Chain A
Amino acid sequence: MDTTPIDLGHIEVLQILDEHAQLDEALDPGYAPEQLLRMHRGLVLTRAFDQRMLTMQRQGEMGTFAPNLGQEACQLGQVIPLTRDDWYSPSYRSFGAQIWRGWSMERLFKLWSGYHEGFPPPPDVNDLPFSIVIGSHVLPAVGVAMGMRYRNEPHCMVVNYGDGASSQGAVSEAMNFAAVNKAPVVFVCENNGWAISTPLGKQSATSNLAVRGIGFGVPTIRVDGNDILAMTTAVEQAANRARNGEGPMLIEAITYRMSLHTTADDPTVYRSQELVDPWEARCPIVRFETYLQRKGILDAEDAERVRAECDAEVIAARDRFRTDAVARPREIFDHIYGELPAELEAQKQAYLDRLDRKGVE
């Protein structure tokens, strides 16, 4: 060997449905029509929920949140192959995946409008709470997977994080821990090209975040995140490896943040519409619908009906949220410890007296 540094070169991107919705027959996962239609409905519901959230935020009913327009396939594809015994660790942008996993939409509405009871994962859902502090959830997710190995459980953990998060030291530590311990974890790096105003090119000198796995001994694949079939296929394979004791895998899912970083953000300050436009044609929902129509299991009328049903479902959830959500100022001391220390009990009492004086229920 000479002294030339190693070049890992170009890594291909897995695509099963291409941008023109042409199927790569050799890679067809062969889902039954009902499953394909369930996936389609999941995508449509995700978008309906996202759009409703945005309307509610603009009307002052919702706090700041991060829309997921354009990332629906990427998000659902991460969780569709999971069983209820598997675990999922979402990011703040993962509503679609959370709904698929069994979070009610009311709960998510509560979460994003600042009600504490929106935060805990539902009792029957093996999810971690989403992480606000970028990258801080990845080590605990690996720890959950280490626990599975410890107990010999044939399940896995899928942990989601962004291209920006991949810069956090803790994310590299997590990969190393997972590899060394052969933890059954699937890292999904959801590369949407942006971390607020920071484009991938400033985040990382390599545009290829999949290579990050290789250095830690974590096998890696790059996937078209706007192709739901490629996503489910890659995650299924990685999940099976993990469940079989073969250790972690990294999936770099390439997608695009079509909308705002959060509702507090103004992307016109830092990116031109010309960068976004080409991604319109790569819309994951249109692509999948075109495929289903060609396949003859969904027609335009069906698609319209699904959209209307999903909208109605979201609105019904919003209405339940409106009647259910109550602020509980008297409970802010109640979940800090398993057992509230006496000193804090006294603080709580003083606090309740203060609320009484203020006439707060």
Chain B
Amino acid sequence: MPQRTMVEALNLALDESMDRDDAVCIMGEDVGINGGVFRVTKGLHEKYGERRVMDTPLAECGIIGTAVGMAINGLKPVTEIQFSGFTMQAFDQIEQNMARLHNRTMGRFPMRMVLRTPYGGGIRAVEHHSESRETYWAHTPGLKVVIPSGPRNARALLAAAIDDPDPVIFYEPKAVYRAFREDVPEERETMPIGTSQVVREGKDLTLISYGAMMRPAREAVEDLVDEHGIDVELIDLLTISPMDSETLCKSVAKTGRCVIVHEGHRTCGIASEIIARINEGAFEYLEAPIKRLTGYDIPFPYFQTEQYFLPDADDIIESVRETMAWE
């Protein structure tokens, strides 16, 4: 199986989807000849031409608003917002139209469209280039929110997002873009949206994370298992909304303990929602309070201090051990 980075894997998914279906088109800033600032659309302009790979004017609200119109027309636009910090410019069109047209028109105009965008910290970027504000979109009825963690699931989930009958916000962990390679099969592969994955089974504690934070989480699990004898069950959320409560609650019902890790802010963060769901679905099995390890409620710091904002493997190990020690 060929080894690919996440950037290459995403590129593969786009290529396959465009090859299969002329309705799939790409819109965004610098996605054409430049292949996107992270090169996710590299080569597609050459292969499919300007008709299907559209460099847009510099206006995110314009990109999403016109993509909504293209979707009304039956196309399946895959838009790229250069950094997730600039989805804020498009908030208007996401909220007013992308998320609601299906409901407003009672299904007459399905919104088959994807908003792809890199999110998260760890690349020493300037302000507005490191945010994790997935909560906004999880909070917006009508949207699906997907966050892959590695090349293989990124490819499979993006293919599924493009096929999905509903609008999908697809957050790409830019810290993972070129961080490692992974086997990604040649033949097309998809994964169901709305399903989380147990990536390691364990019986002592459930550790839940997603996106870029899956890397320190995996690192911590290795240490916890080997050095501390704690048998951790690790879950990769993959879809933030609609949330796979069943997988989460089933796991916690088994382990009785849970730690959640994400880089997004704490207040109304995704962990808050997970805790509520476990409360509703597995309260009687809990042996310790659920712990969340999150970004703080402050703007993402300037990059000389960003590493202190992000949870790391040591923090995760500590949180897991504290939760294990609770009686």
Contacts and interface: CB of A to CB of B under 8 A. Distances in A.
Contacts of B86: 133-134
A341 B254 CA distance: 38
Contacts of A355: 308
B57 A202 contact: yes
A333 B35 CA distance: 38
B34 A329 contact: no
A94 to B, nearest CB: 15
B296 A63 contact: no
Interface string B57-99: 1110110000000000000000000000110110000000000
Nearest to B315: A354
Contacts of A92: 126
B302 A344 contact: no
B302 A196 contact: no
B298 A198 contact: no
Binding site secondary structure of chain B? loop
Contact of B33 (A269, A329, A332, A336): A269
B201 interface: no
Given A114-B302, A169-B61, A269 B296 contact: no
Contacts of A197: 30, 32-34, 55
Contacts of B125: 63-64
Interface residues of A, number: 45
Contacts of B59: 167-169
A167 B55 CA distance: 13
Chain B: number of interface residues, binned into ranges? 35 or more
A158 to B, nearest CB: 21
Contact of B58 (A113, A134, A264): A134
Indicate the member of B34, B85, B314 with the most A CB atoms within 10 Å: B34
B62 A167 contact: yes
Given A196-B30, A269-B35, A270-B33, A132 B127 contact: yes
A63 B299 contact: no
A114 B303 contact: yes
B128 interface: yes
B34 A196 contact: yes
Contacts of A195: 29, 58
A82 to B, nearest CB: 25
B171 interface: no
B304 A333 contact: no
Contact of B30 (A115, A198, A347): A198
A338 to B, nearest CB: 14
Contacts of B30: 196-198
B295 to A, nearest CB: 10
Contact of A133 (B29, B85, B296, B305): B85
B242 interface: no
A132 B88 CA distance: 13
A119 interface: yes
A165 B304 contact: no
Interface in A327-351: 327-329, 332-333, 336, 343-344, 347, 351
A198 B31 CA distance: 9
A360 interface: yes
Interface string A264-279: 1100011000000000
A181 interface: no
A133 B89 CA distance: 9
A116 interface: yes
Indicate the member of A195, A204, A265, A327 with the most B CB atoms within 10 Å: A327
Interface of A: 63-64, 92, 113-116, 119, 132-136, 164-165, 167-170, 195-198, 202-204, 264-265, 269-270, 327-329, 332-333, 336, 343-344, 347, 351, 354-355, 357-358, 360
23 contacts: A63-B125, A114-B306, A115-B302, A119-B302, A132-B126, A133-B85, A133-B88, A133-B128, A164-B57, A167-B62, A168-B58, A168-B89, A169-B61, A195-B58, A196-B34, A197-B34, A197-B55, A202-B57, A333-B296, A336-B298, A344-B297, A347-B266, A351-B308
Instruction: Give 6 nearest A-B pairs by CB, closest first.
Output: A197-B34, A114-B303, A167-B57, A327-B304, A164-B58, A114-B304
